[in-house]
């Protein structure tokens, strides 16, 4: 199981097919965690900003089903 965006990316590059699950699957929620000591780390701040910008540019998820 993987996110559809990843599957579509790989299907465009490799001879693979994408199939829907025959059973309902729970929604996958991506989260980022870091220790509070690292909250001011410039590298962590850069990475979080990069992730935030990338996610904001993603298309809305497809409705289930």
* 3-46 per-position pLDDT tens digit: 888 899 999 999 999 998 899 888 878 888 888 888 889 999 99
Residues 24, 47: Cα–Cα separation, whole Å: 33
* 43-60 per-position pLDDT tens digit: 999 999 999 999 898 888
Residue-number span of the structural domain to which 40 is assigned = 4-56
Residues 61, 30: Cα–Cα separation, whole Å: 13
Residues 32, 4: Cα–Cα separation, whole Å: 20
Residues 28, 46: Cα–Cα separation, whole Å: 24
On the question of pLDDT at 63 being above 90, the answer is no
Assess if residue 65 is contained within a domain: no
Assess if residue 63 is contained within a domain: no
Number of domains in the chain: 1
Q: What pLDDT is attached to residue 64?
A: 64
Query: What pTM did the predictor assign?
Result: 0.54
Assess if residue 50 is contained within a domain: yes
On the question of pLDDT at 61 being above 80, the answer is no
Assess if residue 61 is contained within a domain: no
């Amino acid at each position: 199981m993987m996110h559809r965006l990843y599957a579509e990316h790989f299907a465009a590059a490799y001879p693979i097919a994408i199939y829907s699950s025959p059973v309902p699957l729970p929604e996958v929620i991506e989260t980022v965690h870091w220790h509070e000591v690292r909250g001011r780390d410039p590298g962590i701040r850069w990475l979080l900003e990069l992730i935030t910008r990338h996610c904001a540019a993603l298309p809305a998820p497809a409705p289930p089903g």
